Amino acid sequence: MSHCSGFSDPASFTEDGPEVDEEATQEDLEYKLKGFIDLTLDKSAKTRQAALESLKSAFSSKILYEFIMERRMTLTDSIERCIKKGKSEELCAAAGLACLLCVQMGSGIESEEIFKTLGPVLKKIVSDGTASIQARQACATCLGICCFIVTDDITELYSTMECLESVFTKAYPRDRDTNGVSSTPSTVLHISALLAWTLLLTICPMNEVKKKIEMHLHKLPSMLSCDDVNMRIAAGETLALLFELARETDADFFYEDMELLTEKLRALATDGNKHRAKVDKRKQRSVFRDVLRAVEERDFPTETVKFGPERMYIDCWVKKQTYDTFKEILGSGMQYHLQSNDFLRNVFELGPPVMLDAATLKTMKISRFERHLYNSAAFKARTKARSKCRDKRADVGEFF
């Protein structure tokens, strides 16, 4: 474990400090990463897991294409071994690293080779009822993301979607169940499989999209009654996306149970059930207001994502689903990858990376002292505003 605790975010090496030799910094980073790759073969499960997590941190915060290209087979072998033999937490870390490995490599022959090795292993675990829920969940997510990145083979795409369908359709209520869906320990797995399947649906040919819509659109609304708020939200967002795709394939698309569905969506968008947590209700209402608008009015509230000097507009459910998926695995590194990762820029149609000279970067960067002044001023203004509110409450209390 002590070997793996020294990793720090390479993006922070030069912040607000004296200029450093970038080549030396890169060499130092690569030296550490080589050590972590070696430690993925260690006898200790804790050491292997810590090494996997450290590699994940590096892969999400830096573009390391050339370094990885030289070691992709070694990395793939290590990930495969950890997925096959590791326990739940190690397996989850290895599956997360597999996603990031494909994100780094982008869509190409090298990524296809990685997926050919890992795909069958991931499918086996996703379908294995004896494996832990967390392991199956991580493998379902990994399977969806890696397939999205690398697959030009339509047969492989359909096969992966069928594997994911076999999992999340177990959450559909049986014909005899009319009281909605109760959450179970498997619910988190069903959510991950559904979201991974929805991501792959966005790259399907239109004739296949029509088949999937006919198969699932009348069943998905049953999930809106699930006890689990995350399942309700996943089902709602998937429905919005299906309606968006259905209307793209057929401008006159008609859904028979529209009145019943909008009634359900409106109830969730205004849900005030006292037995539900406030945070869950707030989150649910926010999502379902947007879902209701999508289904009823064909409208999508555009979001703006800022990264560096650039802006990206998320203006449809397909784009939102794709952005949310990659943000989940890249975390705080999402902005950096949007700026520099050719594959992601291609997915979101951003064109080649914008090249900035040192002078432009310097003018964009705020010094630590300026940040301190800004935060100090904001803190004072906030305190002042809250003091006024407290005074009003005190006056009201005295009055009564």
pLDDT tens digit sequence for 272-296: 676 667 777 788 899 999 999 999 9
Are 177 and 92 part of one and the same domain? no
> 152 falls in which pLDDT band (50, 70, 90)?
confident
Q: Residue 137: inside a domain, yes or no?
A: no
Are 63 and 174 part of one and the same domain? no
In the block, tokens 């490995």 appear at 101
Q: How far apart are the first and last CA of the chain?
A: 61
Are 115 and 163 part of one and the same domain? no
Q: Residue 352: inside a domain, yes or no?
A: no
Are 9 and 70 part of one and the same domain? yes
Are 176 and 68 part of one and the same domain? no
Q: Residue 170: inside a domain, yes or no?
A: yes
In angstroms, the CA 172 to CA 217 distance is 12
Q: CA nearest 100: which of 71, 136, 68, 124?
A: 68
In angstroms, the CA 267 to CA 353 distance is 44
Q: Which SS3 state, helix, strand or coil, does residue 317 take?
A: helix
Spatial neighbors of 240 by CB under 8 A, at least 6 apart, are: 290, 291, 294, 295, 317
Q: CA nearest 126: which of 103, 147, 153?
A: 147
Residue 356 CB burial class (10 angstroms; 0-12, 13-18, ≥19): middle
Q: Residue 82: inside a domain, yes or no?
A: yes
Are 295 and 168 part of one and the same domain? yes
* Adjacent-strand bridge partners of 68: none
Domain boundary among 256, 271, 301: 301
Q: What is the pLDDT of residue 271?
A: 77
- Looking at residue 217, what DSSP letter applies? T
Are 289 and 189 part of one and the same domain? yes
Are 91 and 194 part of one and the same domain? no
Are 38 and 161 part of one and the same domain? no
Are 164 and 297 part of one and the same domain? yes
> 249 falls in which pLDDT band (50, 70, 90)?
confident
In angstroms, the CA 74 to CA 59 distance is 15
Return the minimum-mean-pLDDT range out of 273-277, 290-294, 301-305, 316-320: 273-277
Q: Is pTM beyond 0.85 here?
A: no
Q: Residue 389: inside a domain, yes or no?
A: yes
Residue 174 CB burial class (10 angstroms; 0-12, 13-18, ≥19): exposed
Q: Residue 192: inside a domain, yes or no?
A: yes
Domain boundary among 301, 326, 342: 301
CA distances from 358 to 221, 320, 370 (A): 53, 33, 20
Q: Residue 359: inside a domain, yes or no?
A: no
Q: Which helix (H) or strand (E) holds 310?
A: strand 310-314
Domain range spanning residue 374? 366-399
Q: Residue 139: inside a domain, yes or no?
A: no
Total domains in the chain come to 3
